[in-house]
Chains A and B, each alone.
Chain A
Amino acid sequence: MKFLEYQVKERFRAAGIPVPDGRLAKTPDEAALAAGALGPIAVKAQVPVGGRGKAGGIKLAKTAADAKSVAGEILGMTIKGYTVREIWCETAQDITRELYLGLTLDRDARKPVLILSAQGGMEIEEVAETHPETIAKLHPDPWRGPLPFEVRDLIFRAGLGPLQAQLTPLVVKLYGLARTYDALTIEINPLALTQDGGLVAADGKLEIDENAMFRHKDLHGTDESEEDPLEAEARRRRLTYVRLDGSIGVIGNGAGLVMNTLDLVSREGGRAANFLDIGGGAKAEVVHSALELLAGDPHVKGILINIFGGITRGDEVAHGIIDASRDLNLKLPLVVRMTGTREEEGRQLLREAGITPEATATGAARKIVELATGAGR
């Protein structure tokens, strides 16, 4: 789950990490009121993606009239597929230097990693390529967290020694927040050094581990309606679905198998419209639901179902396919490859319903590409 800047900053403030004063606005008039109360402000589009500044989603406003007109431009904009419905109006900062402080997961080390850089204000991946010498990392022990001397060492290695007295507690607080919220990623970027010598979180990012949501039932991140509508619908149906940009709908069981099916479709000259994993032991209803979801996607010109029966049973899957084809009056080309547990029963059911199962995954991919590209013309 991701959060918007203002939601992240509320949590920073509660944890004692300094943030600029700000107000949330949903209309130009509210932005004007904010400028009236706060003075010169930055008007910032609230969308859960990076690159807002470049997209024109962040603008300065000196007066209430400025704020009103700037807010009118930003509200309603679309940034990377997200419509701007809220803007965060905060006191403009007199920034002399931009730093970076964040925590993410280091898969290779099998630990979280704190990252501090003397170079902030851009994506940390970009800094890693252009100014690697400005980046310092610390892998805190996951049982005790970072100790003050380890944090000081991190700060000195980043070349930020003169700021260590101010920075040390910030690093410790950020780690605490990460633990409290089961953060996959938490960032202060930029961490701004202001004219008066203070440090302030000028922007923030927080993404929470979905697997830990049972511990955070009270939290609400960005509105699901902002997501891709098909991805949101798939989530409601408890299907593991990712929208892609092709025309061939793909359903399979197991993440690796579905990924491989996408690769096979591509190898045969097609492009998949989605990744959809029905998981292990799927019943007929799940297959039905998956087919219904894809049949409702206008980009889908044909559907490929690839099943390896382990816990999943071929006859269950076949029943789901047959029922869905009938209920949905499915006109799209449909190709099924089925092997494993109860494959013979499943194939027989399919043949009786007029669906010829393919013998191999490669053959099935070839066939659906032929049929779907024909159907698309």
Chain B
Amino acid sequence: MSILLSKESRVLVQGLTGREGSFHAEQMKAYGTNLVAGVSPGKGGSTQLGIPIFDTVVDARRETGADVSGIFVPAPFAADAIMEAAAAGIGLIVCITEGIPLYDMVRARAFVAAAGVKLIGPNCPGLVTAGQAKVGIIPNHINREGSVGIVSRSGTLTYEVIQGLSQAGVGQTTSVGIGGDPILGLSFTEVLRLFKDDPATRAVVMIGEIGGSDEEAAADEVISPGLGKPVIGFISGRTAPPGKRMGHAGAIISGSTGTAASKLKALTQAGAQVCDTIEEVVAAAAAAVGQPSSAVHR
């Protein structure tokens, strides 16, 4: 079991013929992802990486039964690509693109919500269900099958946790990067609920950062009422000054909201185990799932 993505998922890539899209589609395929289609307007009928390319998502879905889309199209066109996927009935949309204009994203978010489909990102590394499938840019070799779920706003920090866990012999179910933008699809709350209902996930690592109040909301809405499994929390940006955007568009302390202190307090009060370093996160997750070697088959 896992959440959101499995080896049965039929994945298409929007922007597959672009530089980023083709590189990462190849990596996704190499990981074993069931990659069924690419979409590039004007290039329908061709093939790339042995995969058929379609002009529209509707065509791709009709011909291949794709149900998940990874989006690698440039920022000015990415919100439209998200809506195209939603309108075509794609159930899970993963938008990797960084730098989408705010109003485009606000509209796309409302469109996706009305269509009743799930969006991960934008400005995210995507997700991996270890040993099964990947949509996005998380490096293939670091993942290992196991029982820890990961949800994070950061890309590289997620890779650090995955690699640290894998090297300690602790595998993962699904690792989800929800993205660093202020307007996101799935929130911590929604992903934590999915992990709650996934019997294969025995502990969850949550990597937050400064900005917004999604971490506080997750603490109140899902962690505090009880997830039924340990939650290990980490917040980056403890020393970031207010009013400065720290790389991610969403990583900014505005007035008194979005501080690391507020998030750490909320997580602690909700019963999460809060860690100070990534090394501590790895140790805590390993301890939470017990001695991993017997549970992991690689």
Partners in one complex: yes
Chain A residues packing against B (C-beta within 8 Å): 105, 107-108, 110-112, 125, 141-143, 179, 182, 184, 209, 211-212, 214-215, 240, 242, 244-245, 252-260, 262-267, 271-272, 275, 277, 280, 308-311, 339-341, 360-362
**A259 & B107 in contact (Cβ 8 Å cutoff):** no
CA distance A256 to B248 in the complex (A): 8
Q: Are A212 and B101 in contact (CB under 8 A)?
A: yes
Tell whether B91 is near chain A: CB-to-CB under 8 Å.
no
Contact B106 A112 (CB under 8 A): yes
| 17 cross-chain CB contacts under 8 A | A107-B183, A107-B213, A111-B110, A179-B103, A211-B101, A255-B154, A256-B180, A259-B240, A262-B239, A262-B240, A267-B276, A308-B156, A310-B137, A311-B137, A340-B139, A340-B159, A362-B279
Q: Which of B167-213 contact A (CB under 8 A)?
A: 180, 182-184, 207, 209-213
Judging by beta carbons under 8 Å apart, are B236 and A254 in contact? no
Could you tell me the distance between the alpha carbons of A327 and B110 in the complex, rounded to whole angstroms? 51
Whether A266 pairs with B247 at a CB distance below 8 angstroms is no
Counting CB contacts under 8 A, is B138 at the interface?
yes
- Tell me how many residue pairs across A and B have CB atoms closer than 8 Å: 159
Closest A residue by C-beta to B256: A125
CB-nearest residue of chain A to B208: A256
Provide the residues of chain B in CB contact with A254, threshold 8 Å.
154-157, 247
B137 close to A264 (CB less than 8 A): no
Nearest CB to that of B211 among chain A residues?
Answer: A107
A184 touching B102, Cβ below 8 Å = yes
Q: Which 4 interchain pairs have the tightest Cβ spacing?
A: A256-B154, A255-B247, A254-B156, A256-B157
Interface mask (B83-119 → A, CB under 8 Å = 1, otherwise 0): 0000000000000000111111011011100000000
Distance between B114 CB and nearest chain A CB, rounded to angstroms: 9
- Give A130 to B276 CA distance when docked, in angstroms: 35
B233 part of interface (Cβ distance < 8 Å): no
Complex Cα distance, B170 from A79, in Å, reads: 54
Given A125-B255, A255-B246, 15 new contacts (CB under 8 A): A107-B211, A107-B214, A107-B250, A209-B101, A214-B76, A245-B241, A256-B156, A259-B209, A259-B237, A260-B236, A266-B239, A275-B247, A339-B163, A340-B142, A340-B163
Give A271 to B241 CA distance when docked, in angstroms.
12
Q: Is the interface of B mostly helix, strand, loop or mixed?
A: loop
Interchain CB contact under 8 A, A341 and B101:
no
Chain A residue with the shortest CB-CB distance to B76: A214
Min distance, Cβ B262 to any Cβ of chain A, angstroms: 13
Interface residue count for B (Cβ, 8 Å)?
A: 60
Of B111, B155, B213, the most chain A CB neighbours within 10 A belong to B155
Q: Report which B residues bind A (CB closer than 8 A).
A: 75-76, 99-104, 106-107, 109-111, 125, 137-139, 142, 152-160, 163, 180, 182-184, 207, 209-214, 217, 236-241, 244-251, 255-256, 276-279
**Do B103 and A142 have beta carbons less than 8 Å apart?**
yes
Q: Judging by beta carbons under 8 Å apart, are B101 and A256 in contact?
A: no
User: In the complex, what residue of chain B is closest to A242 when comparing beta carbons?
Assistant: B244
In the complex, the answer to whether A142 meets B209 with C-beta atoms within 8 Å is: no
Shortest CB–CB separation between residue A28 and chain B, in angstroms? Answer: 33
Are B246 and A258 in contact, CB atoms less than 8 angstroms apart?
yes
Across the interface, name the chain B residue whose C-beta is closest to A111: B106
| A246 and chain B: residue at smallest CB distance | B239
Residues of B near A256 (CB, < 8 A) are: 152-158, 180, 207, 209, 236, 247-248, 251
User: Which residues of A lie under 8 Å from residue B76 when comparing CB positions?
Assistant: 214
Cα distance, A112 to B110, chains bound together (Å)? 12
Find A212's partner among B103, B159, B182, B210 (CB 8 Å cutoff).
Answer: B103
Q: Are A310 and B246 in contact (CB under 8 A)?
A: no
* A264 to B280 Cα, complex, angstroms: 13
**Bound state CA distance, A254 and B152, in angstroms?**
13
Residues of A within 8 A of B256 (CB): 125
Q: Which residues of A contact B182 (CB under 8 A)?
A: 105, 107
A182 to B251, CA, bound (A): 19
CA distance A259 to B236 in the complex (A): 6
Q: Report the minimum CB–CB distance from A273 to chain B (whole Å).
A: 12
Which residues of chain A have C-beta atoms less than 8 A from B211's C-beta? Answer: 107
Interchain nearest-CB distance for A265 vs B (Å): 8
Contact of B249 among A211, A266, A271 (CB under 8 A): A211
How far is B279's CA from A360's CA once the two chains are assembled, in angstroms? Answer: 9
- What residues of B have a CB within 8 angstroms of the CB of A311 in the complex? 137, 139
Given A182-B101, A240-B247, A256-B180, check contact A263 B159 (CB 8 Å).
no
Question: For the complex, what is the distance from the CA of A108 to the CA of B106, rounded to whole Å?
Answer: 12
Least CB distance, B256 to chain A, in whole angstroms = 8
Q: Which of B99, B217, B251 contacts A211 (CB 8 A)?
A: B99
A residues near B217, Cβ cutoff 8 Å: 108
A257 and B154 in contact (CB under 8 A), knowing A108-B217, A182-B101, A280-B137?
A: yes
**Shortest CB distance B124–A (Å):** 11
User: Closest A-chain residue to B258, C-beta based?
Assistant: A107
State in angstroms the CA–CA spacing of A277 and B246 once bound together: 9
B222: min CB distance to chain A, Å: 15
User: Does B103 lie within 8 Å of A209, measured CB to CB?
Assistant: yes
Could you tell me the distance in whole angstroms from the C-beta of B126 to the nearest C-beta in chain A?
12
CB atoms of B246 and A242 under 8 A apart: yes
CB-based nearest A residue for B139: A310
A255 touches B248 (CB 8 A): yes
| Distance in angstroms between the alpha carbons of A107 and B217 in the assembled complex | 12
A105 CA to B184 CA, complexed, in Å: 13
Q: Contact: A182 with B102, CB < 8 Å?
A: yes
Cβ–Cβ < 8 Å partners of A310 in chain B:
125, 137-139, 155-156, 159
**From B109, which residue of chain A is reached at the shortest CB distance?**
A110
CA separation between A230 and B76, bound complex, in Å? 29
Residues in B whose Cβ lies below 8 Å from that of A112 = 103, 106
